[in-house]
Chains A and B, each alone.
Chain A
Amino acid sequence: MDEATQRKWDKAAPNFDLMAGAGAEKRWQPFKEELFSHMQGNILFLALGTGLDIPTFPKGQTITAIDISPKMLEVAQPRIDDYEGTINAEVKDVHDLDYEDDSFDQIFTSCTFCSVPNPVGGLESLRRVLKPGGELFMFEHTGSKYYPFKIMMDVMTQLTRKIGPDMNRTTVANVQAAGFELKEVNSLFMDVVKTIKAVKPDLK
Chain B
Amino acid sequence: MDHRLFFVLGDLAVNVLVGAVAGWLCALVIGVGWNMFLAMILAMVIGMIIGTLFFFPLGILFGAMEVMLPAMFSGMVSGMVVGMWAAMEALGAMDAFLIGGAIGLACIVVIWVINNTVRGVTTYG
Contact = CB atoms under 8 A, between A and B. Distances in A.
B73 A181 contact: no
Given A141-B65, A181-B124, 18 more contacts: A23-B60, A26-B6, A27-B62, A27-B63, A27-B64, A27-B66, A28-B63, A141-B64, A146-B114, A149-B69, A149-B73, A167-B68, A184-B121, A186-B120, A187-B119, A189-B65, A189-B119, A190-B65
Nearest to B56: A19
A173 interface: no
> For chain A, which range describes its interface: under 10, 10 to 19, 20 to 34, or 35 or more residues?
20 to 34
Nearest to B123: A184
Nearest to A194: B119
A18 interface: yes
A183 B62 contact: no
A152 B123 contact: no
Interface in A3-23: 18-20, 22-23
A188 interface: yes
B63 A190 contact: no
Contacts of B65: 141, 167, 189-190, 192-193
Contacts of A185: 121-122, 124
A77 to B, nearest CB: 23
A101 B52 CA distance: 44
Interface string B12-45: 0000000000000000000000000000000000
A35 interface: no
A183 B66 contact: no
B73 A152 contact: yes
Contacts, number: 88
A82 B7 CA distance: 28
A203 interface: no
22 contacts: A22-B61, A23-B60, A23-B62, A26-B63, A141-B64, A141-B65, A144-B69, A152-B69, A152-B72, A156-B52, A181-B125, A184-B124, A186-B120, A187-B119, A187-B120, A189-B65, A190-B69, A190-B114, A190-B118, A191-B118, A193-B64, A193-B65
B2 interface: yes
A63 to B, nearest CB: 24
Interface residues of B, number: 31
Interface string A154-185: 01100100000001000000000000011111
Interface in A122-160: 141, 144, 146, 148-149, 152-153, 155-156, 159
A189 B124 contact: no
B108 interface: no
Nearest to B111: A190
Interface string B54-97: 00000111111111110011001000000000000000000000
